[in-house]
Amino acid sequence: MSNFAQTFSSSLGKKLIMSLTGLFMCTFLVIHLIGNLQLFKDDGGQAFNSYAYFMTHFPPIKVISYLLYTSIIVHAIYALVLTINNKKARPIGYAVFNGSANSPWTSRNMGILGTILLIFLVVHMSNFWAQYHWGNLPYARYEISLQNPQDIKVTSIPFEGKELAHADYVDARSGTQVIIAKNLYKIVNESFKQWWYVTLYVISMAALSFHLIHGFRSAFQTIGWDHKKYIPLIRFLGVWVFGVLIPIGFAAMPLYFFFFK
């Protein structure tokens, strides 16, 4: 076995791969959150549906998406392998001093947190990603006034057994910009009206928060970027940006639809 293969098959190598895939997914979370904020626009879903089309048809984004799917699978597999190996190496469990364990709660429960997130991803992608690619989604036709862009007329176009082409053009006669797009916004709206899905979503975002609080800093330690000069910044980003701001941003979406739409 080559030195390269030996390095990445070792415990440290597995942790390195976990760190790199984890940080890559952190980058995607930021982009995904920014895009999903379009859900809060009061435009009948036009901005969000256009965003969904862009994310699934722009070639560089499609390549990154395949890298993301691969990262999720690799991250999950290596997490399982490391958890099993740690259980074998430490069959008794963590020591407890003065009523508390000698390691953070998040560190001891990364497997549980990761399992919750994996279940959420399966449900989430089957509801939205799979539906967008292979489901019989209705279409939406938006007529946006060129004189007053806030004036938007939305017409639903039912799925009739064939895909419609995404359209974006100006109708000079009516003085409107016309956009025809798959109506993923409608599916999101319907899903976020279900209490069980909103509950799963919020619980999963809480799990994501704890997972990132530990995982973000741990990833930088694993790749050797833990110099005392940068630790405060890494801690700040890990706790307040990835551990608090991003999970709250995602959790706000189902809550907004459930209570206010």
9 pLDDT tier (thresholds 50, 70, 90): low
Q: Which amino acid does the sequence have at 57?
A: H
Q: Any idea which of 80-84, 147-151, 156-160, 163-167 has the lowest mean pLDDT?
A: 80-84
2 pLDDT tier (thresholds 50, 70, 90): low
* Residue 106, pLDDT score: 64
Q: Is the dihedral angle over the CA atoms 159, 61, 38, 151 positive or is it negative?
A: negative
Kindly report, residue by residue over 128-155, the tens digit of the pLDDT: 999 999 999 999 999 999 999 999 999 9
* Residue 154, pLDDT score: 96
The DSSP call for residue 37 is G
* Residue 80, pLDDT score: 82
* Residue 96, pLDDT score: 47
- How many other CB atoms are there within 10 angstroms of residue 46's CB atom? 20
Q: Which residues contact 243 (CB under 8 A, 6 or more apart)?
A: 209, 210, 212, 213, 216
Q: Is pLDDT at 178 greater than 60 in this prediction?
A: yes
* Residue 187, pLDDT score: 95
Domain spanning 3-137+183-260 has what CATH number? Answer: 1.20.1300
CA–CA separation, 78 and 118 (whole Å)? 13
* Residue 228, pLDDT score: 79
* Residue 92, pLDDT score: 55
Q: Which residues contact 144 (CB under 8 A, 6 or more apart)?
A: 46, 151, 152, 176, 177, 178, 179
pLDDT (mean) for 191-203: 97
222 vs 178 pLDDT, higher one:
178
Question: With contact defined as beta carbons under 8 Å apart, do 201 and 123 qualify?
Answer: no
* Residue 99, pLDDT score: 47
